[in-house]
Structure 1
Amino acid sequence: MIRINLLAVDRDKKKKKAVTLQAGQKMTIGCSLILMLAVLFIGWRYWALSRESAQLDADIAAAQQETTRLHSIIQQVQQFEQRKAQLQQRVVLIEQLRKGQSGPVHMLDQISRALPPMLWLTELKQVGPSDVVIDGKATTLTGLSDFVSNLEASGYFKRSIEIVSTNTETVAQPASELVKFSIKATFQQPGETQPPAAGAKPGL
């Protein structure tokens, strides 16, 4: 008589089912964990990007405000520079007018101071913005030389003064000869002068 142990077969089937069930549960749990981690990572990444985006928006807004402020400052600086340039032009114009008014007075004063003894002037005429022609007479050529040296040493006339012409003129009473001369000089302000010549004779 043959006996079949059905209980052993049932136990083997139950073991196989239990093993299969446990493997499926582990796989399901693993997939669930992976999915949860992926969702958490995506959520964290989205939050981080949102935060960075908000920070960038704030930085851009601050930069725009700073740009607006700097633009206003630049406009104020430009207005200040324009105002400064206008004031400088006015100062230059006033200085030019002042020099133009005082120039002839100083020129005549220096010419008068430079006159040596026995020399006198017959004509003085302006031939340019700063050039002047001086005509006169002297008893000697030395007097003319002293006059030119004194003008150059005054600091109000540029060197070298040009002697345009010299002629001898005879005078009947008393019988003598005079030196008739014409010189050309360029007037300048004292701040533009060259150092005075050493040994120049002062005018009387």
Structure 2
Amino acid sequence: MIEINLHPSGGEKKTRRKRRSVNLPSSARFQSLREDPWNAGLIAVLVIVPLIVLSLWLMQRSRDHGLQAQLDAATADSARLAELRVLSDSLISRRTAVQKRIELVEQLDGNRFVWPHLLDEIGRSLPDLAWLTAIKREAPLPNVQVQLLGTAANPLVVTQFVHNLERSPYLTDVQIVSTQAQEVKGLTAQNFTLTVRYRSPPSDSVPTAPLLKGGA
């Protein structure tokens, strides 16, 4: 069975009860909140603190982005420096290897003229009344030392030979090992044994000549 209330007052009472259930603050209450310093401070804190937190978060985020960019740049620079270091080490190794080869070539190229210079200086220093019977090597290159065995007409010729050897820019440490008189075809000759060492002369002591121009 359905009952319907047709009395107007019943609907108004229900409507009034529904309106009373919604509790909205009045303007006077807002005015009291503004006048109360504690409430005003609370409202200010509730408004300002989120703004401060948001600002700090934005600043931190911007700082993090800046630090990340610096970190990426430092990482890239480190990678480039590592590549440059590897390249530098490779170039240094190549330069060392090339330098060793150059030194070897210079040594071989310089030593190939030792014996020609040595024999040429010995032959140039030999007096007319003396001759050599043997040349023996006593020390290897580059400071090669040889022993000279020969015969001279008299002791003065041996002394002249020694002086000539000492004046050569390519020879040094000229020593008389022994001298001995010997009868040769009814004449008294002087056998001698000398030692001499080769040296590289300074550039200013070696005579030079200007090159001839073509068509002169």
* Distance (Å, rounded) in 1 between the aligned partners of 2:111 and 2:57: 79
**Residues 44-193 of structure 1 aligned to structure 2 (within 5 Å):** 44-129=55-140, 130-158=144-172, 160-173=173-186, 176-191=187-202
* Distance (Å, rounded) in 2 between the aligned partners of 1:88 and 1:66: 32
* Distance (Å, rounded) in 2 between the aligned partners of 1:37 and 1:153: 104
Letter in 2 for 1:152: E
Letter in 1 for 2:156: T
- Structure possessing the higher relative contact order (Cα contacts under 8 Å, 6 or more residues apart): 1
* Distance (Å, rounded) in 1 between the aligned partners of 2:202 and 2:95: 25
CA RMSD of aligned residues (A): 2.6
What's the offset of the Cα at 1:22?
A: 5.7
Letter in 1 for 2:93: Q
* Distance (Å, rounded) in 2 between the aligned partners of 1:103 and 1:21: 117
Cα 1:105–1:22 change in 2 (3 A) is closer
Under a length normalisation based on structure 1, what TM-score does the superposition of the two structures give?
0.76
Identity, in percent, stands at 26
Listed as ranges, the gaps of 5+ residues in structure 2 are: 1-27, 207-216
Cα 1:23–1:46 change in 2 (3 A) is closer
What's the offset of the Cα at 1:23?
A: 7.3
**SS of residue in 1 equivalent to 2:60:** helix
**Aligned residue number for residue 10 of structure 1:** none
**SS of residue in 1 equivalent to 2:139:** coil
The ranges of structure 1 where at least 4 consecutive aligned residues each deviate by more than 6 angstroms after the TM superposition are: none
* Distance (Å, rounded) in 1 between the aligned partners of 2:34 and 2:105: 104
**Aligned residue number for residue 28 of structure 1:** 39
The count of corresponding residues between Structure 1 and Structure 2 is 175
